[in-house]
Each structure stands twice: as C-alpha cells, then as structure tokens.
Amino acid sequence: MASLEMQRFLDRNAAGQDKGKDLSIEDQRRNFDAFMAGLQLPENILVDNYTLAGRPARKYFTSGVREDASLLYFHGGGHLTGSLDSHHSFAAHLAIACRAAVNALDYRLAPEHPYPAAVDDAVTAYSEMLEYTSSENIMLAGDSAGGNLALACFLRIKREGLPTPGCGALLSPLTDWTGETIKSAEMREYSLVNAGLYAGEWPLDTPEISPLHGDLSGLPPLLIQYAKGEFLQEDSTQLDIRARKAGVHVEVSEFDEAFHVFQIFTNLPESREALAEIGAFYRKHI
C-alpha cells in the first residue's frame, strides 16, 4: 500500500505529468532542476565541488567515511536533462545510505553532445577514480538514463580491459532505446524522438546505446529497482532475464504503487526504503 506521502504526490502530479513534453530542452532542464530544488539534504553531509574527467562533479560524504571505497553516480533525465542540482538531495542521501563517498558526475548531454560523449565521460571518470580506489571497491549507479549510462560504462570497461567495478545499482534503468520494450504507443513515440537526439547517427541497437542488446557476461553483481507498471518496467525485467542468462548475479526489487525513478524524491518513505536497500547491497558487495 502506498504511503500517504506517495499517494499525495501521485494525486498532485497525475494531471500535469505530460505538460513538459512540448517545452524546449532548455526549459525542460530548468524546470527539472527547479522542481527538485526543494528537497532537503540530510544532516551532517559534506559536499565538495570538484572536477572529474574534465567535467564538474560533486562528492558527498560524511566524516569518518571509508577512504578505500567509493561510488560513481550518473543522474537520469533521458540523456537530455538532469544535472548535479536535480539529483543533489538524492546523491547526498545515497552517501548516507551506503556509508560511502558518492561522486556525482555532470556528464555531457545531448543533443549538443550525442553518443558517445556521455559514455566517454563516464568511463574516463571511472578510470580516474581507479588511480586512488581499487575497482572492486567502486559501485557504478544511476537512474533511468543514468542507469543506461552505468550499463554502457560496464560494457566499455569490459571491452577496453579495465578492472571490473565491484557492483552496480540501476534504478528504473533505460536499457533499450529501440522502443521495443515500451508497450504504450504514445510513450514509445516520445522515447524514440529522444533516442534519436541521443544516438545521433548511430543505430539505436548499438550496445552502448541499448545495453540490452549487448553481451552482458562478466558484469559485476547488479541491483535493479523499478516501479510496478511504469513505462520502463520491461527494460528492467528483460535486463534481469538476460543478465541472469549471462551468468550475472542479479537482485531485483519491484515497488508497488510507485512511479518511474521515485527514488530521487527523498521526502517519500518509499524512497527511503529503496535507499536503505541500495545501501545494504553496497555494503554486501564492497
């Protein structure tokens, strides 16, 4: 049963959930950041703005945190929107949940920077982190398109022969930009427009664009969270099936009466439950 806070959120946003689709990308970016700005940071969190892979980044941590382990986080937003600001509260709460430093990366966005810019940024950031943290002590994580980027990063890491990260957490990940996993014709059409902006001249089934079409063998343990009935549910369930067939250890959580990437709304009890699960998964494998 949905919490009172969740039900109020669903009721309040149901009528206007599609209004932003006709806005310019610049307006969508501003609105996303503004919509998330009211979420609070947890107490005792420390934030350091710095540069990672030549890109702006933020490190979230608490005093006394482990110095030999870390987490690299990629925000969602369809590869078109989202920022360090939109996920400011979530990254901070994630650091508390995992009891580890969270490094949030401001990777390049489409359409100004189509694929492979974001993947290049992500892998370069991971490579730089390897200079001071062992691979088995790093988790890659992301929500929606950020989950897509984490998976693409895993595939690139494997292809380039880099050390494998310790584990990954994927929150309602977008795993297939071809639209084959989306049942709603309206959402499929909308998704394919964004997919074209991100993919540029590359085919949509390119594995680093649609990781569901890639070789998933050799990936580290994965945690997949998604909301029951959300438009990307099949992206998660198919990833679970194909990853398990490839020999990957997968843990899956389906949240009833929730919505796509509800986890980033840190004022919801369901978000706190999801964060606690991610934290437990992190400590289990790192």
Rounded-to-integer distance, Cα 146 and Cα 67, Å: 25
Secondary structure of residue 36 in the 3-state scheme: helix
DSSP-assigned letters across all residues of 152-194: HHHHHHHHHTPPPPSEEEEES----TTSTT---HHHHHHHHHH
- Name the token pair of 224: 């997949």
Buried b (16+ CB within 10 A) or exposed e, 115-154: bbbbbebbbbbbebbeeebeeebbbbbbbbbbbbbbbbbb
- Concerning whether 75 is annotated as a catalytic residue, the answer is no
Quick one: tokens of 92?
A: 């901070």
Report DSSP state, residue 39: P
- Measured between alpha carbons, how far is 115 from 77 in angstroms, rounded to an integer? 15
Per annotation, catalytic residue among 208, 230, 270, 277:
230
Relative to beta strand 55-61, strand 46-52 is: antiparallel
Q: Let me know if 5 is a catalytic residue.
A: no
Assess whether 67 carries a catalytic annotation.
no
Active-site residue among 260, 271, 277, 285? 260
Which one from 70, 86, 144, 271 is the annotated catalytic residue?
Answer: 144
CA–CA gap between residue 266 and residue 264 (Å, rounded): 6
Instruction: Specify the amino acid at residue 219.
Output: L
- Residues 72, 70: Cα–Cα separation, whole Å: 7
Structure tokens at 239: 């990833």
Instruction: Tell me how far the alpha carbon of residue 284 is from its chain's centroid.
Output: 20
Question: Active-site positions?
Answer: 144, 230, 260
